[in-house]
Amino acid sequence: MSYNATLESVKPFDSKYSFSGRGNWAAIRTCWNIIENADRIPDAPNNLAVSKMKAEAKMIIALHYCDMYRHYGGLPWVDRTYTASEVPQIKRSTSLETLNKIVALIEEAENDLPWTNADKNDDGRFTKASALGLKARILLFGASPLFNSAEAYLEGAASSANYTWHGGYNADLWKRAADAAKELID
């Protein structure tokens, strides 16, 4: 297949991030469903396996939120599954609230994950090392001037509501990012 033929087969929206599509919200819902129901799995191998499954689901949620946070800042925070008959009225969180919720979710999960996966069949699954790496990455992103600045990069309603920035500069965010990176390295 030629390079031009490959480019022709790519739809315009395939190269851009999409907040409402691409399965982020479906994946988050699926993971909350796992977390809420994993204890009911008949003949589960042991409690450690169920705890690890829940931790991996939390990490997948955190990963999706990290991707969306990069592009949008504050997000509506989904913290459980919703039934088809419910109409959730979830307000958008500020960028700092969203950052803190992502970090809290990672911290809930990290201790139930192994440092590395000993079984080759588990390659690509979340580990404590990858959880600490994701935490360091999102904290570094949240401390960056995009979100952590004396003034918003663009004025408007979203900036006024602190959705697209933290509302001011906070040097402590850099310390949190450095501490998370050091935790991973140590």
Q: How many CB atoms lie within 10 A of CB 164?
A: 21
Give the SS3 label for residue 167: coil
Can you tell me the distance from the alpha carbon of 58 to that of 52, in angstroms, rounded to the nearest whole number?
Answer: 10
pLDDT digits (tens, 9 = 90+) for 114-125: 998 888 887 889
Instruction: Give me the residue label for tokens 């419910």.
Output: 86
Q: Is the dihedral of CA 137, 75, 99, 149 positive or negative?
A: positive
Smallest Cα–Cα separation from 135: which of 165, 178, 169? 178
User: Which pTM does this prediction carry?
Assistant: 0.86
Give the SS3 label for residue 137: helix
The residue ranking higher by pLDDT, 67 or 20, is: 67
Angle at 18 between CA 12 and CA 24, to 5 degrees: 135
- The predicted model gives 160-181 an average pLDDT of 97
Can you tell me the distance from the alpha carbon of 169 to that of 59, in angstroms, rounded to the nearest whole number?
Answer: 28
Half-sphere exposure of 139 (CA within 13 A, CB side): 26
Radius of gyration, CA atoms only, the chain: 19
Q: Supply the mean pLDDT for the chain.
A: 88
pLDDT digits (tens, 9 = 90+) for 67-117: 999 989 999 999 999 888 888 889 999 999 999 999 999 999 999 999 988
Contacts of 171 (CB under 8 A, 6+ apart): none
